[in-house]
């Protein structure tokens, strides 16, 4: 278990992180080079190529997401691509296709979509960010790959 999963969501020990509060609603594109915690709602695209995105328990995200790492405690509708890993926590909900090199879906989490395990995380950017899956939906439910 990582220390991040044990840290309270409100803790921001790292200066290179940002928070989108629960009363904020964003429509459009979010991009940047710092970690981001979303507690509000976002519609559009979230691109944090080399950073971590945390979707908080109160968050409602309708967006495609590209990040190094994605942790979902709330609700996401859209495709997720993470270079390192995707975690869907026990109360989290994801409806979309996942592409990552590592995946963890906790018992009690909701997931509908497909999973592609990408063993070539450093491949060139000309490859589609949301390629079709080679694994059936739910293939990794409750397991760490």
Distance from C-alpha of 74 to C-alpha of 3, rounded to nearest angstrom: 19
Higher-confidence position of 131 and 98: 98
- The predicted model scores a pTM of 0.74
pLDDT band at 142, cuts 50/70/90? low
Taking residue 137's Cβ as centre, other Cβ atoms within 10 Å add up to 14
Q: Tell me: the pLDDT tens digits for 1-25?
A: 444 444 444 444 445 789 999 999 9
Q: Tell me: the pLDDT tens digits for 110-126?
A: 999 999 998 875 554 44
Q: What is residue 124's predicted lDDT score, i.e. its pLDDT?
A: 45
Q: What is residue 85's predicted lDDT score, i.e. its pLDDT?
A: 97
Distance from C-alpha of 25 to C-alpha of 13, rounded to nearest angstrom: 25
SS3 content of the chain, % helix, strand, coil (to 5): 5, 50, 45
Q: What is residue 15's predicted lDDT score, i.e. its pLDDT?
A: 52
129-133: long-range pairs with CB below 8 Å, 24+: 129/64, 129/66, 129/79, 129/81, 129/99, 130/64, 130/79, 130/81, 130/97, 130/99, 131/99, 133/97, 133/99
Q: Tell me: the pLDDT tens digits for 36-92?
A: 999 999 999 999 989 999 999 999 999 999 999 999 999 999 999 999 999 999 999
Q: From residue 89, how far is each of 36, 92, 105 by CA, in Å?
A: 17, 5, 6
Evaluate if residue 132 carries a pLDDT over 90: no
Per-residue b/e over 17-44, b at no fewer than 16 CB within 10 Å? eebbeeeeebeeebeeeebbbbbbbbee
């Amino acid at each position: 278990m990582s220390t991040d999963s044990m840290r309270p969501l409100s803790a921001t020990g790292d200066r290179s992180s940002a928070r989108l509060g629960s009363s904020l609603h964003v429509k459009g594109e979010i991009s940047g080079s710092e970690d981001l915690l979303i507690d509000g709602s976002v519609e559009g695209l979230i691109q944090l190529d080399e950073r971590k995105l945390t979707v908080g328990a109160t968050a409602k995200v309708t967006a495609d997401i590209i990040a190094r790492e994605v942790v979902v405690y709330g609700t996401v509708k859209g495709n997720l691509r993470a270079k390192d890993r995707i975690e869907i926590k026990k109360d989290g909900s994801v409806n979309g296709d996942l592409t990552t090199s590592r995946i963890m879906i906790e018992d009690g989490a909701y997931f509908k979509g497909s999973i592609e395990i990408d063993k070539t995380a450093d491949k060139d950017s000309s490859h589609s960010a949301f390629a079709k899956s080679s694994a059936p939906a739910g293939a990794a439910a409750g397991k760490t790959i």
